[in-house]
Amino acid sequence: MVAAQLLERAPAPQPAGEDNPWHTAAACRRDEVGLFFAPSKEPTAARLSREEQAKQVCARCPVLLDCREHALAQPEPYGVWGGLTAAERRVVLARRRRRDVELVEVPGPRGRIAG
């Protein structure tokens, strides 16, 4: 969840609100960008370790869900955002699309109520 570093740098996190966007309270504001984004040609074991470290930062973040929803709405194609990797976000988006399609296609109950 390196959204805070990419969107804006500030000296210290402040509570989110109307005058303060969600990313100002992000836990990742003080971490290295490299923790959340893969260097080119990163070995798999190193990537998994780095992503796990990034997710640990996200786990203690007060704006984890805001960050995740931002990354899903954009959609952000790279990095760890809201505790999810790009691959995990693709799965979430696919599930949401499937759910939305099912909600549209599934007809309501058609049986009669005996009385």
- What are the residues facing 84 on neighbouring strands? 81
Say how far apart CA 74 and CA 93 lie, in whole Å: 11
C-alpha dihedral sign at 82, 88, 90, 95: negative
Burial class, 55, CB count within 10 angstroms (exposed 0-12 / middle 13-18 / buried 19+): middle
Residues annotated in a binding site:
28, 58, 61, 67
The structure tokens listed for 114 are 């005996």
- 61 SS3 class: coil
Tell me 114's DSSP state.
Answer: P
- Known binding residues for [4Fe-4S] cluster are 28, 58, 61, 67
